[in-house]
């Protein structure tokens, strides 16, 4: 039995005793605090200790019984609001927890852990910018070094060059300063230098394995860098010590979705939504997972719930449009136009609304209005990205010079001999998801998704560290020994193993942009199958132009950019046909639609697969599909999509001019008999 306050002499002595017990014996601390409150009812510090002890013992309800009245009576007591936020979070009341924590840091910004907890909850709510700001405030509040304070302030204001300079200089003097290393990793992550960020955060955890914020950052970086299995391992480590943490659970759900575990991701999002029911971005993420899992009606309901909470959230409207099967009614269009007319609407919401309105007006056959919105959405998106079409053209030129008949003859037989992968390459919206679904309906083939591994490996080999830098790829491949090429192939298979959920011998990688790396694939995986999905240039390019992609595909936001990209792709693949004759099987989308069964048989023959009638009934195959065509491939083959671009033909002049002879030659290419030099006509056109 704890003593009452009087035998200890004073109230302060009794409170100090209770505080000391908090370090070693929570139950006794709670008993001591309760004893104080019997003598001095509503004593704020005793109530705070009692609530903290109860929360530490897992009794969130008991803690809230104390903290609710306490914060009402003591609205200026920052520590009470902080503790209230923690208890609300434990009780699954996430949005109330955010409000309490925001109150705590407003009253006392020096409560460092309040900033961290606020960042966790904002992250769970999908408020990445707010979470980032809170985490940076946590760093500021925890830091005493004035130089680090200056760097943290620069990070909060997104002044990355300033933060980088200050942190670099600081780490020269103090190379093991963990907060500085973590901040430096944050700079690298924001600049998309994920390899650097990974190394820095790994170093942090070598120095201090319990540095949870660094581990959370590492999980985020690994996921962004296309290493979801490694990211999941880090999140699981965090959840072992804090299984209810909303930020950890939210990140895990996103990683599971990336790993193709759509049902598990949806279940996890549903659990988090029980605590954050009123947050639209969480409902949107839930909808994405449901869509991927093939639960279309549930996905629509989740998106609609998000819209009902935040009608100005443009990405949700676009997510509905992106299902391709949803037709917007007059009320929907009016709501989107109303939100788009708001002057204060952010650029991300505005551009997503433009893409959604483009789809709505196209469905209503109001093609002029539809194109206006598509064009406006693309123009806005183009201001947010950095893309230089000349870089793709230069890569094609250098690849044609490097990947020659002589090179492939010299290196014949090197690389990893495994026949497992089937690469589907080309442009987005060229029918690659249809081909994937057909092949994945075969009992020997597993469908995965658009895997980033080949592109990441090429970037690593290139060693380019800045936008203005020079890549050593593909020429660096000439310096690699045969064993190194084989190891790269084996590494690809190891890295992609996590995406394979069955024991089927073959799997599909349908990253379309891998067309630029067919030569690399041949060197490291000479027995892999390669399928080129090709569609009419105007149909393919305009379909890409009116599609807002979640990330990447930066060439699609200008008719000129996408036309040049298509032209470069055709030029490079024609070169591949000459230096690796018969290596790539080409599927012309229009032929697949018009002559379905013969084309399917040709495709299976090219992949050395026996014919299976299930491939003709591809729409009956149940599997997760993540791309923009996810709902379209869940119905039988149809021809309506072939000529939809003709409704917009009068607006596509810039695209036609950029495509040049590539357009008029389709489905052939404007190359001479050998296929390496452009025809005189194409040369004259290019040199105008």
Measured distance CA(644)–CA(648) in Å, rounded: 8
Pairing of strands 584-588, 445-449: unpaired
CA distance 191 to 245: 27
Structure confidence by residue, pLDDT tens digits, 484-512:
999 999 999 999 998 888 999 999 999 99
Domain annotation covers residue 543: yes
Lowest mean pLDDT among 95-99, 127-131, 343-347, 417-421: 127-131
- Is residue 546 domain-resident? yes
Tell me the sheet residues that pair with 671: 678
Domain total of the chain: 1
Highest mean pLDDT among 72-81, 287-296, 366-375: 366-375
Q: Give the per-residue pLDDT at 467.
A: 65
Gap between the Cα atoms of 517 and 527, Å rounded: 15
Residue range 315-321: average pLDDT?
A: 96
Q: Strand pairing partners for 421?
A: 507
Q: Which residue has the tokens 């230089």?
A: 388
Residue 381 token pair: 């998106």
- pLDDT in the model for residue 235: 96
Q: How far apart are CA 118 and CA 131, in angstroms?
A: 7
How many Å apart are CA 195 and CA 185, to the nearest integer? 10
Segments forming the whole domain that contains residue 532: 390-633
Can you tell me which residue has the tokens 């080309």?
A: 426
| Per-residue pLDDT tens digits for 458-480 | 999 998 766 667 899 999 999 99
User: What percentage of the chain has pLDDT greater than the value 70?
Assistant: 92
In DSSP notation, 591-610 reads HHHHSHHHHHHHHHHHTT--
Of residues 228, 254, 251, the one with CA closest to residue 238: 251
Confirm whether 481 is domain-assigned. yes
Assign 115 a pLDDT band (cuts: 50, 70, 90): confident
209 in any annotated domain: no
Task: Encode pLDDT of 322-360 as tens digits.
Answer: 998 899 999 999 999 999 999 999 999 999 999 999 999
β-pairing, 445-449 vs 421-426, is unpaired
Buried-state track 627-662, b at ≥16 Cβ within 10 A, e below 16: bbbbbbbbeebeeebeeebeebeebbeebbebbbbb
Q: Is 31 helix (H, G, I), strand (E, B) or coil?
A: helix
Q: Does residue 627 sit within a domain?
A: yes
pLDDT classification of 674: cutoffs 50, 70, 90:
very low
Q: What's residue 679's pLDDT?
A: 41
Q: Which residues contact 28 (CB under 8 A, 6 or more apart)?
A: 2, 21
Let me know: does 618 contact 633? Beta carbons within 8 Å.
yes
Cα dihedral 130, 131, 132, 133 sign: positive
> Can you give the pLDDT at residue 13?
86
pLDDT band at 629 (very low <50, low <70, confident <90, very high): very low
Cβ-count burial of 58 within 10 angstroms (0-12 exposed, 13-18 middle, 19+ buried)?
exposed
CA distance 442 to 464: 40
Strands (DSSP E) found in 497-560? 506-509, 529-534
Instruction: Give 68's pLDDT tier (boundaries 50, 70, 90).
Output: very high
| Structure token pair of residue 328 | 């917007």
**Whole-angstrom distance, CA of residue 318 vs CA of residue 351:** 9
Cis peptide before 685 (omega within 30 of 0): no
The pLDDT value given to residue 376: 97
pLDDT on residue 138: 75
DSSP H helices, 325-448, are 330-340, 347-363, 367-382, 389-402, 405-410, 432-440
H or E, element range at 423? strand 421-426
Say yes or no to pLDDT of 684 above 80.
no
The helix-helix angle for 296-309 and 314-322 (nearest 10°) equals 160
C-alpha radius of gyration, the chain, whole number: 29
Q: How far apart are the first and last CA of the chain?
A: 95
Which pair of tokens denotes residue 15?
Answer: 């409170």
What average pLDDT is seen over the chain? 88
* Strand residues in 579-652 grouped as ranges (E): 584-588
Distance separating alpha carbons of residues 660 and 655, to the nearest angstrom: 9
> In which band, very low, low, confident or very high, does the pLDDT at 11 lie, cut at 50, 70 and 90?
confident
d(CA 508, CA 505): 11
Residue 455 located in a structural domain: yes
CATH number of the domain where residue 537 is located? 3.40.50.300
The answer to whether 200 and 207 are in contact (CB under 8 A) is no
Nearest-angstrom CA–CA distance, 44 and 358 = 58
Helix residue spans in 40-159 (DSSP H)? 44-56, 60-73, 78-90, 94-107, 112-124, 128-142, 146-156
Among 25, 27, 69, residue whose Cα is nearest residue 44: 69
**Tokens at residue 367, please?**
């093609």
pLDDT at 340: 95
DSSP 180-196: HHHHHHHHHHHTT-HHH
In a domain? residue 594? yes
**192 falls within a domain:** no
CA–CA dist 598, 104 (Å, integer): 68
């Amino acid at each position: 039995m704890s003593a009452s306050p009087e035998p200890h002499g004073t109230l302060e002595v009794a409170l100090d005793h209770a505080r000391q017990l908090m370090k070693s014996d929570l139950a006794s601390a709670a008993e001591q605090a309760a004893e104080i409150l019997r003598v001095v009812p509503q004593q704020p510090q005793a109530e705070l200790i009692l609530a903290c002890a109860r929360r530490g013992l897992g009794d969130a309800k008991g803690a809230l019984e104390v903290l609710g009245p306490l914060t009402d009576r003591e609205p200026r007591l920052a520590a009470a609001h902080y503790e209230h936020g923690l208890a609300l979070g434990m009780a699954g009341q996430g949005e109330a927890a955010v409000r309490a924590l925001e109150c705590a840091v407003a009253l006392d910004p020096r409560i460092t852990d309040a900033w961290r907890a606020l960042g966790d909850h904002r992250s769970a709510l999908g408020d990445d910018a707010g979470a980032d700001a809170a985490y940076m405030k946590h760093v500021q509040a925890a830091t005493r070094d004035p130089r680090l304070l200056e760097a943290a302030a620069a990070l909060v204001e997104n002044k990355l060059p300033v933060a980088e300079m200050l942190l670099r200089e600081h780490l020269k003097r103090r190379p093991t300063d963990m907060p500085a290393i973590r901040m430096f990793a944050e700079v690298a992550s924001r600049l998309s230098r994920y390899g650097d960020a990974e190394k820095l955060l790994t170093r942090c955890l070598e120095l201090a394995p319990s540095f949870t914020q660094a581990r959370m950052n590492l999980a985020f970086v690994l996921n962004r860098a296309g290493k979801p299995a490694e990211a999941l391992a880090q999140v699981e480590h965090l959840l072992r010590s804090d299984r209810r943490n909303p930020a950890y659970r939210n990140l895990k759900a996103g990683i599971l979705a990336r790993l193709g575990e759509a049902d598990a991701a949806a279940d996890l999002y549903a659990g988090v939504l029980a605590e954050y029911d009123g947050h639209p971005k969480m409902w949107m993420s839930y909808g994405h997972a449901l869509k991927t899992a093939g639960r279309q009606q549930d996905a629509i309901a989740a998106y609609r719930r998000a819209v009902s909470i935040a009608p100005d959230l443009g990405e949700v409207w676009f997510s509905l449009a992106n299902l391709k099967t949803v037709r917007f009614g007059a009320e929907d269009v009016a709501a989107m136009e109303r939100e788009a007319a708001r002057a204060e609407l952010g650029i991300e919401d505005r551009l997503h609304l433009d893409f959604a309105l483009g789809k709505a007006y196209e469905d209503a056959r109001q093609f002029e209005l539809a194109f206006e919105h598509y064009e406006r959405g693309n123009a806005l998106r183009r201001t947010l990205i950095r893309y230089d079409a000349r870089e793709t053209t230069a890569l094609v030129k250098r690849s044609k010079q490097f990947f020659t008949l002589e090179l492939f003859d010299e290196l014949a037989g090197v690389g990893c001999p495994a026949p497992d992968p089937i690469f589907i390459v080309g442009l987005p919206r060229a029918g690659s998801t249809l081909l994937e679904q057909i092949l994945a309906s075969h009992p020997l083939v597993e469908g995965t998704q658009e895997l980033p591994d080949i592109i990441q490996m090429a970037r690593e080999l290139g060693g380019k560290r800045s936008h203005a830098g020079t890549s050593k790829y593909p020429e660096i491949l000439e310096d690699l020994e045969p064993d190194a090429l084989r190891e790269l192939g084996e590494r690809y298979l190891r890295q992609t193993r996590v995406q394979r959920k069955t024991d089927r011998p073959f799997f599909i990688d349908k990253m379309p942009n891998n067309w630029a790396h067919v030569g690399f694939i041949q060197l490291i995986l000479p027995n892999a199958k390669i399928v080129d999905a090709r569609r009419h240039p105007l149909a393919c390019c305009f379909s890409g132009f009116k599609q807002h992609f979640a990330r990447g595909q930066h060439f699609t936001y200008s008719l000129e950019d996408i036309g040049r990209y298509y032209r470069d792709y055709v030029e490079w693949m024609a070169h591949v046909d000459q230096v690796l004759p018969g290596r790539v099987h080409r599927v012309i989308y229009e032929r697949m639609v018009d002559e379905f069964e013969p084309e399917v048989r040709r495709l299976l023959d090219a992949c050395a697969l026996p014919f299976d009638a299930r491939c003709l009934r591809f729409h009956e195959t149940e599997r997760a599909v993540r791309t923009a065509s996810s709902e379209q491939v869940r119905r039988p083959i149809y021809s309506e999509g072939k000529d939809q671009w003709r409704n917009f033909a009068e607006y596509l002049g810039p695209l036609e001019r950029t495509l040049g002879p590539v357009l008029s030659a389709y489905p052939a290419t404007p190359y001479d008999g050998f296929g390496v030099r452009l025809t005189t006509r194409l040369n004259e056109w290019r040199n105008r």
